[in-house]
């Protein structure tokens, strides 16, 4: 009886909750590379190690699951999460016997916490959400989440963009027809930019209040080259770059994040060796010389997205860090070749993305991209000294800025 009454009054409760947020622009959180929970279910006939499970009775958390990122077990994780590329269909698929899905569409929890157990290591959008709740926002009503398979680029994420449009409209209607703020991080900003370019200006004027971007690599990053070359340990001492690389180089999103010709000149050397100096025009030769032919194929599949540099057509707050050492060139010493370990020459950025890419949003103002007034400007750049690429999500300066913007 009690449960049935609660269910009966739920629409009234929801309406009251929504009214608490009257006047506030509802928020949709769009995460970056590695910023969504992923679940997997196994039904394999072969495994890479005797300790690897062949089957699972149900879906289990595969990202982020620290228990799977330990020696030996990580080999199972890599084999389950890697993608297989088909250069005929120009698409990727999961390995045989592996099904990977993205849980919790619309729910902010899978992008607030990468680890469902809410360990501090898996904290993502949680600090920002907590700050919004203090302002009167309500999870699942005026704070929504848009997780996606971050291994893939826009060419394989068509369903995500369709669902995102529906989520925006649904959130708009749930919140007294208040236009929506897209709050994005890293590659999530690039995904949101592509999404907005697909929409008509009249749709954006009605449904999108603004976009707040954190650490977006508008024109890619040299670090993507570094990952293709030697991998990335995600800043963990217990992970080996070479082991992680086996999975990382199968992801089309990594090819999408390669430096854009919009921001890097053909004369700039990106990979230096004593035999050949590779520029942005030499990716085909570079990947063939690295024995990574699929990397070049994936680059061809995604290149059109990195060349397009039209403005998003909405009010944009572009927040990013600087004054942190960031890789800007791979240098292989004399006598070494591309299968060796390079010296990482560094420049300015946020530790992951180069400054020129982070700050490229300012070019839209210079090119007249002014679809909506923002104190006379459509784009506001907010550079923050020392704001690291991932930690920016928990930076007090960022939290304060977001609260100030969202209060208006």
Residue positions annotated with a catalytic role: 186, 350, 389
Residue whose token pair is 């501090």: 120
Measured between alpha carbons, how far is 304 from 150 in angstroms, rounded to an integer? 18
| Tokens read off for 209 | 């209040």
- How large is the C-alpha radius of gyration of the chain? 22
CA 140 to chain CA centroid, Å, is 21
CA 118 to chain CA centroid, Å, is 20
Look at the alpha carbons of 182, 185, 187, 193 in this order and tell me if their dihedral is positive or negative: positive
CB 350 within 8 A of CB 389: yes
- DSSP secondary structure string, 113-175? BSSTT--GGGBSSHHHHHHHHHTT--BTTTEEE----TTS-GGG-HHHHHHHHHHHHHHHHHT
Strands of the 379-385 sheet, one edge to the other: 143-145, 27-30, 180-185, 208-214, 316-322, 379-385
Q: Which residues of 38-135 form beta strands (DSSP E)?
A: 38-42, 60-63, 84-86, 91-93, 98-101
> Long-range contacts for 175-178 (Cβ within 8 Å, ≥24 apart)?
175/18, 175/21, 175/24, 175/26, 175/141, 175/142, 176/18, 176/19, 176/21, 176/22, 178/21, 178/22, 178/23, 178/24, 178/25, 178/26, 178/209
CB 331 within 8 A of CB 347: no
Q: In Å, how far are 315, 323, 391 from 397, measured between CA atoms?
A: 20, 16, 11
Q: Which helix (H) or strand (E) holds 74?
A: helix 73-81
H and E: helices and strands count for the chain: 15, 15
CB 224 within 8 A of CB 283: no
């Amino acid at each position: 009886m009690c449960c049935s009454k609660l269910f009966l009054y739920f629409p009234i409760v929801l309406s009251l909750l929504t009214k608490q947020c009257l006047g506030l622009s509802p928020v949709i959180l769009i995460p970056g590379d590695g910023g969504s929970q992923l679940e997997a279910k196994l039904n394999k006939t072969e495994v890479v190690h005797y300790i690897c499970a062949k089957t699972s009775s149900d879906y289990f958390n595969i990202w982020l699951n620290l228990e799977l990122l330990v020696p030996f077990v990580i080999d199972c994780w890599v084999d389950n999460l890697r993608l297989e590329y088909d250069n005929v269909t120009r698409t990727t698929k999961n390995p045989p016997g592996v099904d990977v899905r993205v849980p919790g569409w619309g729910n902010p929890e899978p992008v607030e916490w990468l680890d469902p157990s809410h360990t501090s290591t898996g904290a993502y959008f949680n600090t920002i959400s907590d700050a919004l709740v203090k302002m009167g926002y309500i999870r699942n009503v005026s704070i929504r989440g848009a997780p996606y398979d971050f291994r893939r680029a826009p060419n394989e994420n068509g369903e995500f963009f369709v669902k995102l449009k529906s989520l925006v409209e649904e959130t708009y209607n749930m919140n007294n027809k208040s236009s929506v703020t897209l709050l994005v991080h890293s590659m999530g900003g690039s995904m949101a930019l592509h999404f907005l370019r697909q929409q008509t200006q009249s749709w954006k004027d009605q449904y999108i209040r603004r976009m707040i971007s954190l650490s977006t690599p508008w024109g890619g990053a040299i670090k993507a080259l570094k990952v293709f070359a030697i991998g990335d340990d995600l800043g963990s001492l217990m992970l080996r770059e070479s082991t992680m690389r086996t999975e990382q180089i199968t992801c089309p999103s990594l090819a999408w994040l390669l430096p854009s010709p919009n921001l890097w000149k053909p004369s700039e050397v990106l990979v230096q060796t004593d035999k050949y100096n590779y520029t942005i025009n030499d990716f085909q030769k570079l990947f063939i010389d690295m024995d990574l032919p699929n990397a070049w194929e994936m680059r061809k599949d995604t290149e059109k997205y990195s060349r397009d540099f039209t403005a998003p057509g909405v009010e944009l707050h572009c927040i990013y860090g600087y004054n942190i050492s960031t890789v800007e060139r791979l240098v292989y010493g004399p006598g070494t070749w591309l299968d060796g370990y390079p010296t990482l020459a560094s420049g300015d950025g946020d530790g992951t993305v180069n400054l020129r890419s982070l700050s490229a949003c300012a070019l839209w103002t210079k090119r007249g991209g002014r679809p909506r007034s923002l104190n006379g400007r459509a784009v506001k750049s907010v550079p923050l000294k020392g704001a690291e690429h991932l930690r920016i999500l928990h930076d007090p300066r960022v939290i304060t800025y977001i609260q100030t913007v969202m209060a208006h």
